[in-house]
Structure 1
Amino acid sequence: MKVLYHHRTQGRRVEGVHIRGVANALRELGCEVRVISFPGADPEAEPAMASGPATTTESTAPAAPAGDEKGRLATLVSRLPGVLFEFAEIGYNLVTWWRIRAEIARNRPDFIYERYSLFLFMTVWLARRRGIPIILEINDSAVVQRLRPLWLKPLARRIEAWCLTQATGIVFISTYFRELLASHYGQLPPSVVSPNAVDARFDPQRYDRDALRRRHGLEGRVVCGHMGVFARWHGVPGFVETIIDRLQEAPALTLLVVGDGADLPAVRREVQARGLEDRIRLPGRVPHHQIPEWVACMDYAFLPDSNEYGSPMKLFELMAMGVAVVAPDYEPVAEVIESGATGWLFPRKDLEACVDQVIALCDRAEERQRVGAAARAYIERERRWRNNAEQLLSLLPRESRA
């Protein structure tokens, strides 16, 4: 089965992990997958190191590696102010028309899979015109709060409503997201809910935990970890501010916070000023392929905040390594974590409750191990990329699956 996978993301951060995961899983199921990216971008070539902070709502601006001419142009486009940026997004439909039309003529796919982006309608239009099934994966929407203000919101919603209702099928990252969009746009095509997933690298059996802990000076510690962006909307700075005066309650506890972002320098200064560099480890950003090695050092983890519709990739990567997570009780998170069984939920936005749970678990080694093992079993059973690929294929018309 031939699959044309189209997207308009940077493909260099978490979106690249997702693209690689789904594309490779489809190939494992016997599909021939052709990925069409913005000219110059290559999400299938995993970067050694990403630069710059990520965001809660993905950047869907046409983008590519900064050293390339097309990459520099894309960077300039992404920096356009307000409505000009959105006009550039609309204009990208012409590029899409040219490239998808040529690809269909050269090697007609059995279906098209598109990672939906705001204002991008041309792929759906071409698929409908050529009689090709098209499945949309929804990670962003004009009806949710975004970090970058949406100036042409009425137009974005009209385009989105048309795309969603014209698709053959839809993949949502959470039930909340599906219900939200159905409430705005009415009856939608057949859909599935596919939270994020992980690949085979996230397997604790592949790593020497004791050796890694010695390498990073963490032997003999109880390590509670986090990986992600230091930004207010992810809650890491607030968590550190909240726990910093309570570390004396758990003398064995060490926090390992992997990642960077706009707020990292301020957090680092505060940690240094308090003389807590040994209790709060801040290694900075690491390449994605090294993430499992750092997770292998953790006994459990914390996720201070998320949003109402998202499916945090880090949640699945931690759980796959047998590291259970203290996480906020947003519906998409609660869809993955059964509190007390595969993780621990706390009331969203309540950082005191999050810190209480983290400190309490420091002395509960048996509970951490039991819940971590159950978390890993859940991921192995339901949240490998193959599960996502099988779900999306189920949306195709029966004759297309023959």
Structure 2
Amino acid sequence: MRVLIATGIFHPDSGGPATYLHGLLPALQERGYTFHVLTYGDAPCEGYGYPVERISFKQSALRRRYLYAQRYAELAAQSDLIYVNMLGLPRPKVSKPLALKIVGDYAWERALIKGWIAPETDLDAFQSRRDLPHVAWFKARRAREARQADTILVPSQHLRRLVSGWGVPPERIQVIYNALEPTLHTPNLSQAEARAALHWQAEGRYLLTVGRLIALKGVQYLIQALDAVPDVQLIVAGDGEFLPQLRALVESCGVAGRVRFLGKVPHAQIPLLMRAADYVALYSSTEGLSHTLLEALHVGTPVIASARGGNPEVVRHGVNGLLVPHPDLAALRTALQHAFSAGVRDQLAAQTALGLERFAWQTMLDQTDRALRALLEKADVPSSG
């Protein structure tokens, strides 16, 4: 089966969509699939075991979109099926079966980033509110894109409800939970040994957050809430356009000695950081279904997460972590104080494995394979593989 993978980010880029595809494609190759990946970027294209094409960022945005659309049409004509890994890509309409993975609402994200809506605008409330014409245009565009897909894959029940509200028939939407790659490295070290390897203080108290540094990830709230736990250090692993604002906020909050920005960290080193930390925090505005939370729990580190998006489908409050209303600085401060109270961390860490079987790699792989083959069969297109 020849499949065009259309995506905006791909390995070695950071982010869930890139991580997801890099692990999934080799496993599906073993089941008879052949892939051609079309993405943006300037990283090397060799060494993947399948063709990867990157539209360079060294060109204007308009030309990038033109070249992407041109190659998309050419590659689609040579494929049995198209699997689009995100909304908002420049895709001319072609007569091929189309599977679309949706992990969020890019109309909401764009409106937040551009300042068209207030920073505290709730994703669910955004769906039904009346907006300015340019915001309404993006909402209509993403809904139209979704309705054009033959099959939509989402990683959480929350997203299934969201996408259904865009006018997509529920029977076309399948929930396939994200999963941990079987090759995910778990450090064979105690927390103390991990800290020694990283040159962290043995008796220190550490809160780790991992991800792209954009406003939606909520690192600014973690910085502001540090005053509730004066002896806790915040470790920030990741980079992004929001970094200058975060550095300025650290200074204005007077916590410069307690926040450490590591920059972009190779994914292979993240489990060691997670093992050394007391908690992994993800106080984002929303999440489809976070790989970061899954990885932290797999390593054995409890989590502190916003009670948004798919997070409540991973985190059981008071069992393997804490769920915190968002945005609510008072609630976040209270949660941090509770998390670092005597005995709480040990209690939560002892139960991090509970429920992780729902996110098994083999289950995700089997469900994705069935969804793609069913789509091809329904379209009555003879497979080449």
Q: Same fold (TM over 0.5)?
A: yes
- In structure 2, the residue matched to 1:153 is 138
CA offset digits 1:325-356 (Å, max 9, x no partner): 11111141112211112221111211221222
> Closer, same or farther in 2 for the Cα pair 1:112/1:43, shift >3 Å?
farther
- In structure 2, the residue matched to 1:95 is 71
- In structure 2, the residue matched to 1:213 is 195
| Contact 1:318-1:324 within 8 A present in 2 as well | yes
Q: Is 1:117 matched with 2:87?
A: yes
Alpha-carbon distance in structure 2 between the residues aligned to 1:115 and 1:217 = 38
> Closer, same or farther in 2 for the Cα pair 1:93/1:193, shift >3 Å?
same
- In structure 1, the residue matched to 2:14 is 13
| Contact 2:208-2:274 within 8 A present in 1 as well | yes
| Contact 1:210-1:219 within 8 A present in 2 as well | yes
Worse-matched range after superposition: 9-18 or 392-401: 392-401
> Closer, same or farther in 2 for the Cα pair 1:158/1:7, shift >3 Å?
same
Alignment of 1:284-363 (within 5 A): 284-307=263-286, 310-363=288-341
- In structure 1, the residue matched to 2:209 is 226
Other structure's SS at 1:320 match: helix
Alignment of 1:76-87 (within 5 A): 76-78=59-61, 80=62
Q: Is 1:388 matched with 2:371?
A: no
Alpha-carbon distance in structure 2 between the residues aligned to 1:9 and 1:399 = 24
Deviation at 1:4, TM superposition (A): 1.3
> Closer, same or farther in 2 for the Cα pair 1:275/1:211, shift >3 Å?
farther
- In structure 1, the residue matched to 2:96 is 127
TM-score, normalised to structure 2's length? Answer: 0.76
- Which letter maps to 2:222? F
Q: Is 1:173 matched with 2:151?
A: no
> Closer, same or farther in 2 for the Cα pair 1:353/1:203, shift >3 Å?
farther
> Closer, same or farther in 2 for the Cα pair 1:362/1:157, shift >3 Å?
closer
CA offset digits 1:62-98 (Å, max 9, x no partner): 994xxxxx52xx44333x5xxxx8xx64774332121
Alpha-carbon distance in structure 2 between the residues aligned to 1:299 and 1:95 = 47
CA offset digits 1:131-172 (Å, max 9, x no partner): xxx4321235565442368675377257415423xx1x2211
TM-score, normalised to structure 1's length? Answer: 0.73
Other structure's SS at 2:353 match: helix
- In structure 1, the residue matched to 2:176 is 194
Unaligned runs of 5+ in 1: 48-61, 65-69, 129-133
